[in-house]
Amino acid sequence: MSGFRTAFVTIASALLLALAGTAAPASAASLVEVTGFGNNPGGMRMHVYVPDTRPAHPAIVVAMHGCGGSGPGFYSGSEFASLADRYGFLVIYPSAQQQAGFGNCFDTWSDAAKHRNGGSDPVSIVSMVSYAEQRYGGDPNRVFATGSSSGGMMTNEMLALYPDVFKAGAAFMGVPFGCFANAADFPPWSSKCTGGGGANRTPQQWGDAVRQAYPGYTGPRPRVQLWHGTADTLVPYALLQEEIEQWTNVFGLSQTPTSTDTPQAGWNRRRFADGSGTVRVEAYSVQGAGHSLPAAGMAAVAIAFFGLT
């Protein structure tokens, strides 16, 4: 009898282990909100996407929405999370809370937001990056910024203010750093920046704005990728040239591209390389596109520019 009981217990235990194995599905990555991530003068919300398969020290991509949007909305409406699954990087999705003519726009207009560690949204975003480095082992040498519209504007902002934090950025439908005079200048229908007159500055003036954001900084600058639709009327296409002038001046490069090509139908690319052949600035003019970027496939191009593929 004792032998039968022993055999029964053994079989039952094996069945229970088998059932437990089938009942517990493999973990699936999902968007998670993080609270208490650190200094947050912008009063922002933070969501993070951590893929199941990733290296011990994954790269970090900060992906920022347009005005009226949210981090979860940009997660759902862009391709960065699926690319994170493929290439094993973390994605931080900040949610702006500032109100300046629209709802939920990233602060690229206040005096605080134009100076390193000055406060407002840029400081909140850097806190999110530090949290991701500490909590998830994110690689501080591979941190990147990208965003659409207001998020594209904030991409230029973060590259200017924190060149020691971000290694590269991809700005979709942005404006040069320092373009907006103040909150009243932000709404497109009343803005000198997006209205044209206030944005026509020399490359030197644009470059000085970046240099003054972090006085005395002499280290390496993050590489920059810029995207704009030629039919964009909300953030006019002409601002792409102003962004090019700003960043080429920061790098001490000629305004004349070192190469031009059409990597895909309707995508005209200008590249600006340094003396060693490294592309420091590249700009995409998307023919006929309005205020609707990134479109399909563009996020993958940004991720490749970051060196994450």
Residues whose CB is less than 8 angstroms from the CB of residue 95 and which lie 6 or more positions away in sequence, other chains included: 44, 45, 46, 47, 65, 70, 71, 72, 104
- Which residues have a catalytic role annotated? 149
CB-count exposure of residue 101 (10 Å: 0-12, 13-18, 19+)? middle
The dihedral of CA 68, 70, 76, 79: what is its sign? positive
Sheet holding 143-148, edge to edge: 31-34, 45-49, 90-95, 60-64, 143-148, 168-172, 223-229, 279-286, 267-273, 259-264
Measuring CA to CA, how many Å separate 288 from each of 41, 99, 231, 232?
A: 39, 30, 5, 8
Q: Which residues sit opposite 273 in a β-bridge?
A: 279
* Beta strand residue intervals within the chain, DSSP E: 31-34, 45-49, 60-64, 90-95, 143-148, 168-172, 223-229, 259-264, 267-273, 279-286
Concatenate the DSSP letters of all residues of 130-176 into one string. Answer: HHHHHHH---TTSEEEEEETHHHHHHHHHHHH-TTT-SEEEEES---
CB-count exposure of residue 152 (10 Å: 0-12, 13-18, 19+)? buried
